[in-house]
Amino acid sequence: LLGTTITISSNHWVMAWTGLEINTLAILPLISKSHHPRAIEAATKYFLVQAAASALVLFSSMTNAWHTGQWDITQLTHPVSCLILTSAIAMKLGLVPFHFWFPEVLQGSPLTTGLLLSTIMKLPPMALLFMTSPSLNPTLLTTMAILSTALGGWMGLNQTQTRKILAFSSISHLGWMAVIVIYNPKLTLLNFYLYVLMTST
């Protein structure tokens, strides 16, 4: 909760990054709680992906600060920074082509942790997506969004396990949210709240 709150309420890139890191470290014990080899594997995969994505967030904000002298989240103007940040947020959320970790991690987690992973843990990257939506790379984001929507639907058809179905459903929903965020960020938030409500039930 603290990590999510810090990321959502921050104006400075370093604070947003700190919140994301707190979040990642907080969920790891919950994933690996059962001491089952699959749970440990899921926790390791989750940690590696999230650490890489956080490093990219920090790298993009540093590149932007280097060129513009701004650490403000809404002042992301450098094109390379925008490209890297779009990829970083996609990795954190689990958009195609960075989606491979999500079904595996969800399958290795208990159901309550799976709920946290697919709802609350998606909130900080969604907030960053919302705040930086004017400056994100629209072509890259739209491409990833369309691929996510298609792949989430197709892969979900082929599953027999509930958690994997939920994972692919999440990927598909995130695709829709990512494509809407360019045109109407508030509609994306509404979509996200509805998605959280449905997944929770």
Using the predicted structure, report yes or no on whether residue 89 has a pLDDT greater than 90. yes
Q: What would the mean pLDDT of 80-97 be, rounded to a whole number?
A: 95
Q: What is the pLDDT of residues 50-71, one digit of tens each?
A: 999 999 999 999 999 999 999 9
Is 126 within 8 Å of 90 (Cβ atoms)? no
Alpha-carbon distance of 57 to 10, in angstroms, equals 14
Give CA angle at 157 (151, 161), nearest 5°. 110
Q: What is the pLDDT of residue 160?
A: 94
Q: What is the pLDDT of residues 100-159, one digit of tens each?
A: 999 999 999 999 999 999 999 999 999 999 999 998 989 999 999 999 999 999 999 989
Q: What is the pLDDT of residue 158?
A: 85
Average pLDDT of the residues of the chain: 95
Stated pTM of the model = 0.93
Expressed as residue numbers, the domain containing 121 is 1-200
Using the predicted structure, report yes or no on whether residue 35 has a pLDDT greater than 90. no
Q: What is the pLDDT of residue 34?
A: 87
Percent of the chain topping pLDDT 70: 100
Q: How many angstroms separate the Cα of 5 from the Cα of each of 2, 16, 71?
A: 5, 9, 19
For 16, other C-beta atoms within 10 Å of its C-beta total 26
User: Domains in the chain: how many in total?
Assistant: 1
Q: How many angstroms separate the Cα of 33 from the Cα of each of 75, 150, 152, 156, 164?
A: 40, 33, 28, 27, 20
Q: How many angstroms separate the Cα of 11 from the Cα of each of 14, 29, 106?
A: 9, 29, 31
Question: If pLDDT is split at 50, 70 and 90, which confidence band does 195 have?
Answer: very high
